[in-house]
Amino acid sequence: MELLLQGVQAWPKDAMAVVGSSLGGFYATHVAQQTGCKAVLLNPAIDPARDLFGYVGEQATWHDPDQKFEFRPEFIDELRTLQVGPLTDPSRYYAVIAKGDEVLDWREMTGRYAGARIRLLEGSDHALSDFDDQIDEVFAFLDLRR
């Protein structure tokens, strides 16, 4: 995270945005809080230190179960240090949250981003398989021109 923040230090914050999904949404929130830029969060993780604590130890990668990696206890501590408090300016955040998320609780996500612009989907899933239906609103929030 230090390297990332150093890398974007000179970027114009009013023209910069971060987008993150799941754990990436947690990271994007941290970056947005530190820099003052906009953030789009897609089913963002709220408390990954809590949620990932039970996975400390050897794990298999999702795409290839034969590939193993070690999820170490210090990773939990690192996640805790990146946790940010209340949003300094909720208007800079846009969260796309699916009630059908099978991994994260939509009520916890909407509570965390109270005051932010939220697109609450009645169904969908953690991967936001219907993300194509959301892209125009994401672009509009980011003020991107096609």
Over residues 96-141, the pLDDT tens digits come to 999 999 999 999 999 999 999 999 999 999 999 999 999 999 999 9
Over residues 42-95, the pLDDT tens digits come to 999 999 999 999 999 999 998 899 999 999 999 999 999 999 999 999 999 999
- Please provide the DSSP assignment of 119-146 as one string: EEESS--TT-TTGGGTHHHHHHHHT---
Collapsing DSSP states into helix, strand and coil, what is residue 22?
A: coil
- In contact, 119 and 134? CB cutoff 8 Å: yes
What does CATH list as the number for 2-47+83-142? 3.40.50.1820
Over residues 12-29, the pLDDT tens digits come to 988 899 999 999 999 999
pLDDT tier at 31 (50, 70, 90 boundaries)? very high
- Residue 145 confidence (pLDDT): 55
Domain locations in the chain as residue ranges: 2-47+83-142
